[in-house]
Amino acid sequence: MKKTLATFMTLFAIAAAAQAEVTMDMVLVAGSNTATMMIGSGEWMWPDAPAGAVADNYQIGKYEVTAGQYTEFLNAKAATAATSTLLYNGQMGTDSNLSVNGKLGDPVYGSKINRSGDDGSYVYTAVAPNLPVNYVSWGDAARFTNWLHNGQGSGDMEAGVYALNGANTAGTLKTAYLAGRASDATIFLPNLDEWVKAAFYDGAGGFYDVPTTTDTYPDKRTPVAGTNTANIDVAIVMGNTDALLPVGTFVNTTSPYGAFDMAGNVNEWIGDSYIRDDWGFNSLAMGNAFAQPLGSHAAWSSKSGGLANQNDYRRGFRLAAPASAFAPGDVNENGVIDADDIDLMGEYIRTGIAPTAANYDLSDDGMNGGTDGNINIKDMDYLVRYLVETSAVDGDGNLIFGTQYGDFNLDGEIELGDLTRLGTYYGVGDTWAEGNANPHLDELIELGDLTMLGTYYGASNGGVDAIPEPMTMSLLATGACLPLFRRKKR
């Protein structure tokens, strides 16, 4: 009975793990530049070379890939001894007496991913899911990338972005590495230029010395709320079980484009390589690890290899994606253009700070798609009137996109249901769904929102701006005042 229960629990854990979907928070790196910076300056194993020129917009991971995200990958693809040996390193775990795949676990440096179960039904658990994953090889990072590109779940990890096709030796990985990424990749390891631009470029033709939007050496681990703090130069001693820190720990320290931890935590595999006569073929990792002092430009590299080279506590990775990976207007990058995207656009216009870093520059005139380098009401107009998804359908049963200001329930019409929402949250709400028709102006539902609702009352699906009858305006005013009356009566 105990064995049956244990088997059931293992199968249940596998099923539950398989249901989780990995999502990657990205920040936009926009603009074309030809300026470069010198990387290396004689640093160990590094080719002194200019880098950082990128012509096209792209996205880069806001955070390093986490233990939780990599654990979902392991649970989907590493149930057997063969795949576990390929993708999992016992030194990721928390038990110092653990020997997995012939490697002794080390609790000091690992990202705390534990394995349980038997061959064919291995289950992995992330004890600290927000730590960056480490002890991964370039091949591990490439397989994780392929898996995401191919839809996760049972998706192929051997091809898609990188043509691995079973590569697990230095020679076979070198072939895949040098072939580069597929032209239609929806997600990938950033190349050297992409990584350097996201980490150092100031947006005006220059580069910072440190990937924390500064030229000043960062503080070591404290203050957490500082604007120039990094997880670097940590003493390597037994018992130091918090050497790695959760991604984004230093909440006010980012690269110029809003990416966290590019100066510390783990080195990050990238998608470039080079040949150096005295070392041979090398794959590259960028950024500093927690155990390293900050280099002159935080560059580091390591030879490409198979299983023998995944044992490094310093190695992790960060992913990138084309700027076009998400539809225009999907500013929170969740696959749906909805009220949340309107709220985020409004926050950007109000504050000038992107809550996320998707592309907010949607239109140069409010009526047609395009960019003008500015984020303003024209972009909001285009998002609301042409891009946001409504629940309305056309004669062929297709969803209709675009509505008008005041359609708070996004049903394609501005009518009594929207008035009710505004009245319910008048004076207390702050989102589009609650009745904020002017999220680009303020965070309070008040008379300006009522006026906007009145302007478009009766309009549908982004159509003609309807001017309400006097009785309608009276109804709107009465509806908005109801909550005030109720509060006063109390």
Question: Got the DSSP string for 315-365?
Answer: EEE--EEEGGGS-TT-TT-SS--SHHHHHHHHHHHHHS--SSBS----BSS
Domain that holds residue 470: 332-489
Position 393 confidence tier, pLDDT thresholds 50, 70, 90 = confident
The verdict on 95 and 116 lying in the same domain is yes
Which of 292, 321, 350 finishes a domain? 321
The verdict on 297 and 436 lying in the same domain is no
- 52 within some domain: yes
Cα gap 452→143, rounded to integer Å: 51
Which of 267, 287, 321 finishes a domain? 321
The verdict on 230 and 266 lying in the same domain is yes
pLDDT of residue 241: 56
pLDDT of residue 326: 67
- 123 within some domain: yes
The verdict on 317 and 336 lying in the same domain is no
Give the largest Cα separation in the chain, rounded.
85
Position 137 confidence tier, pLDDT thresholds 50, 70, 90 = confident
pLDDT of residue 166: 92
pLDDT of residue 329: 86
Position 281 confidence tier, pLDDT thresholds 50, 70, 90 = low
- 326 within some domain: no
CB 171 within 8 A of CB 267: no
- 327 within some domain: no
Give the domain CATH number at 242. 3.90.1580
The verdict on 293 and 404 lying in the same domain is no
- In this prediction, residues 468-488 reach a mean pLDDT of 46
Average pLDDT, the chain: 79
Phi, psi of 343, deg, nearest 5: -60, -40
- 90 within some domain: yes
- In this prediction, residues 155-174 reach a mean pLDDT of 90
CB 133 within 8 A of CB 246: no
Q: Does the pLDDT of residue 365 top 70, yes or no?
A: yes
Structure-block tokens of residue 147: 């898996």
Beta strand 219-220 pairing with 229-230: parallel
Position 160 confidence tier, pLDDT thresholds 50, 70, 90 = very high
Cα gap 337→326, rounded to integer Å: 10
The verdict on 362 and 466 lying in the same domain is yes
The verdict on 297 and 344 lying in the same domain is no
The verdict on 34 and 126 lying in the same domain is yes
The verdict on 285 and 343 lying in the same domain is no
Cα gap 140→317, rounded to integer Å: 10
Which of 273, 296, 321 finishes a domain? 321
Question: For the chain, what is the domain count?
Answer: 2
Packing angle of the helix pair 447-456, 470-489 (nearest 10 deg) = 150
- 120 within some domain: yes
Question: What is the percentage of the chain residues whose pLDDT exceeds 70?
Answer: 75
pLDDT of residue 398: 76
The verdict on 387 and 439 lying in the same domain is yes
The verdict on 171 and 282 lying in the same domain is yes
The verdict on 52 and 160 lying in the same domain is yes
Question: What is the percentage of the chain residues whose pLDDT exceeds 90?
Answer: 40
Cα gap 19→431, rounded to integer Å: 31
